[in-house]
Amino acid sequence: MAGSFIHRTEVAMGKLLLLLVGLVLLELTVMIEVGSVIGALPTVGLLVLTAVLGSSLVRSEGIKTLFSAQQKMQQGEMPGREVMGGMMLALAGLLLIIPGFVTDFFGILLLQPWLRNRLADKLVGSSQFRMQMGGFQGQQPPFEARPGEGQPDRTKGGGTTIEGEFERKE
């Protein structure tokens, strides 16, 4: 059983490595082509500009997502869509910071709320995501004290608290 898990992990890591190498080669090819058309300096400037603008957009979209998640939690609902949207925004930010036009393209796509919401709905609807998120069903808001919990009962013990210092002598 453990051997098959290790084998699957090794296969997945191999595929990820191939994907990353392919992405680097594709990015280099596209950058060379763009550089040959518009020049090296404008190409570098364009890459820096997309990183700066992208990080600004990620910040503003992230704030919107955070407020939406807070509203859901205040209503006692699970903010699954918002959590997935936040993860996609983090991925979009990473893609925009990585120098390259292909990653910038996919980063900008993930910044589009309509696409992000659609992907989030699909992922939240999958049984794998529901199993990972646990068993919250919405009957009790997740961050409120349950009945009988919360502030300690101050009527028990009824003692007096005296502040001061002590020294242990043995």
Give this prediction's pTM: 0.65
Please report, for the chain, the start and end positions of each structural domain, with discontinuous segments joined by +: 7-132
The alpha carbon of 148 is separated from its chain's Cα centroid by a whole number of angstroms, namely: 34
pLDDT values of the chain reduced to their tens digit, one per residue, 170 residues: 566 778 888 888 989 999 999 999 999 999 999 999 999 999 999 999 988 888 888 888 888 888 888 998 898 888 888 888 888 998 998 899 888 999 999 999 998 989 988 988 888 877 555 545 554 444 445 555 555 555 555 555 567 777 887 788 87
Instruction: Give the C-alpha separation, 162 to 34, whole Å.
Output: 75
Rg (CA), the chain: 25
Q: Give dist(CA 127, CA 153) in Å, integer.
A: 41
